[in-house]
Structure 1
Amino acid sequence: MSAASTTPRAAVSARQLAWRRRRETLRRGWAEFRQHRAGLVGLGILVVFVVVALAAPLLASSTDISVTRAPGGVLEHPSSTYWLGTDDSGRPVLSLLIWGARISLLVGLTATVISMVIGTLVGLMSGYFEGWGGALLFRVTEWFLVIPFLPLAIVLATVLGRSLFNIILVIGITSWPATALLIRSQTLSIKERPYLERARVLGAGRSHQIGRHILPNVMPMVFANTTLTVAIAILTETTLSFLGLGDPTRVSWGTMLDQAYSVGAITTGSWWFFMPPGICVILVVLSFTLIGQALEDVVNPRLKARR
């Protein structure tokens, strides 16, 4: 009776201890992250864009981005009425920027989640399992690394068609190999550590070793790599949309650049049409890059020793 009653308490206390350690690790990580001024600047820029994207219905009317209900004239200069002027359909460029932030961030984040899931699973499996299975996954990863990323994405986007889902899918399934290679190298290193050998001796199965020992140790590298992959995904979405492979029914910064190029905004001097979306892309990519570099220093202390 007493042994049965103490077992759940011991399990609860062990669980609480594990959560306490995780919270303490996150607290230390945040304290180290705050020491990186560039990382904080990148986080601040990203927060601004995320707030703008979430508050788009409050900041700009959805009717302003409709071609048939555009309120302004064609390519009007910036004024007190239209702070960033209008496009070739009479839509306010500022409204297009605000609503375009939603699509660009959505594509970048969703495609990155797909890329991280595929890359992490392939990296874990190819690094942990020996024999033909792991070798086959490693060869597939190498094959994807050899093929140029952008031409492959262009071909897939052309074949699948112009839609938001297809763009997300194309970016997700073409940007995972670098993550898989990173996770594989980490898995090979962790697999040789004493605590994993001790777990094998005590009878831990493969799923237990991967889920309880290897995956938690590679997750910091996954999170650090995620921020850099988001930047690549946003740039890829912008490139594909600029090439006319984006979703024509959705407003994104890439489709704005494509439309500005199509109507000759550069040659006519309509800088307010093509410069704002380009600057927004640069700022968001820069923010993710700064955050990623700061997270790399946090999760990899050896980088700090080299610097």
Structure 2
Amino acid sequence: MTAPEPVERTPGPAWARRRAAARRAWGEFTRHRAGVLGLGVLVLVIALAALAPLITDADGVDVTRATGGRLEPPGGRYWLGTDESGRSVLLLVLWGARISLLVGLSATLLSIAIGTVVGILTGHFGGWGSALLMRLTDFFLVLPSLVLAIALSTVIGPGVGTIVLAIGVTSWPSAARLVRAQTLGVEARPYIERSRALGGGHLHVIGKHVLPGVLPLVLVNTTLAVGTAIVAESTLAFLGLGDPVAISWGSMLRSASNSGAVTAGAWWYLVPPGLAIAVVVLAFTLCGRAMESVLNPRLRER
């Protein structure tokens, strides 16, 4: 007897529809020049940050191996000058992007995950448990998130993980509110009632209907929240609540302030990290606005 020939599995119509929808979304996204520009800037910055150990010498960020002069102005040897220890500011900006982007993305994912879970649970189940969660959300929403992050960082101790945790656990209420409103809108649709009438349980309704309905909003909110998280990380690092050894854009601004770069007129030590923060935050905002226009038909019609 001969072995049966393997049957080639072809993708079903659902996958074909998803690929077609993804192509349409990408085509709509490319129509937004600002969004494409922001995406290009983000790809460039992320690539430079990821390849920093390969394209630069890690010894250059070591204080004990610095070869430049103190606050040396830009020139042929150091394009963006040096810091108070004689290290290249350009090299510090490249390596600082790694910590700033890592903390911003990690804190955003943590806050969005908490907000999504809380928003879906409160919108789907209701009852006294949901009311209690929403009162807790209102409590965190009223208090300034930066003040809470500073207090939490002070209690736990300085460090990169502390900043991620501080930003993540204090910036989720806005995401929870948005996801809850979207969940209530999805729950009111007729196919949810049909799914329940056919025996669909809570996990089926949430996994098959509610979660796909709120994912576009979560994706857009994630893109827009990364910029806020990067600014918060820079603020906490500037206040000295980050890892004193790690190099980030916020710690560079703190070092520039403490070393007297302002009074010495060393603009090349202050402008590059500040400009990097502004450019990356603007790039994330442009991408988020473009994605919001793509995923929201009302905005697309406007």
Matched residue type, 1:196: I
Alpha-carbon deviation of 1:21? 1.8
Taking the aligned partners of 1:279 and 1:130, their CA distance within structure 2 comes to 45
Counterpart CA distance in 2 for 1:136 and 1:22 is 38
Structure 1 position 117 matched with structure 2 position 113:
yes
1:204 alignment counterpart: 200
Match of 1:263 in 2: 259
Q: TM-score when scaled to structure 1?
A: 0.94
RMSD: 1.2
Any stretches of 5+ residues in structure 1 without a counterpart? 1-8
User: For residue 157 of structure 1, what is the aligned residue in structure 2?
Assistant: 153
Identity of aligned residues (%): 56
Distance in 2 (alpha carbons) for counterparts of 1:233 and 1:59: 27
**2:214 is aligned with what amino acid?**
V
What amino acid is the match of 1:64? G
> Which residue pairs with 1:90 in the alignment?
86
Q: Which residue pairs with 2:297 in the alignment? A: 301
Q: How does 1:139-288 map to 2 (within 5 A)?
A: 139-288=135-284
Give the CA deviation at 1:17: 2.2
In structure 2, stretches of 5+ residues that fail to align are 1-6
Instruction: State the 4+ residue runs in structure 1 displaced beyond 4 angstroms.
Output: none
Distance 2:131 2:12 in 1: 40
- Secondary structure of 1:285's aligned partner: helix
2:3 maps to what in 1? none
**Counterpart Cα distance in 2 of 1:188 and 1:38:** 32
**What CA distance in whole angstroms lies between the structure 2 residues aligned with 1:73 and 1:165?**
33
Distance in 1 between residues matched to 2:40 and 2:152, nearest whole Å: 35
Matched, 1:23 2:19: yes
Q: For 1:66 and 1:166, how far apart are their aligned partners in 2?
A: 24
User: Aligned partners of 2:230, 2:106: CA distance in 1, in Å?
Assistant: 10
Where do 1:122-133 residues align within 5 Å? 122-133=118-129
Shift of 1:295: 0.7
Q: Once the 2 structures are TM-superposed, how far is the Cα of residue 269 of structure 1 from its aligned partner? A: 0.3
Instruction: Determine if the alignment matches structure 1 residue 57 to structure 2 residue 23.
Output: no
CA-CA distance at 1:205 after TM superposition: 0.3
Q: Which amino acid aligns with 1:16?
A: G
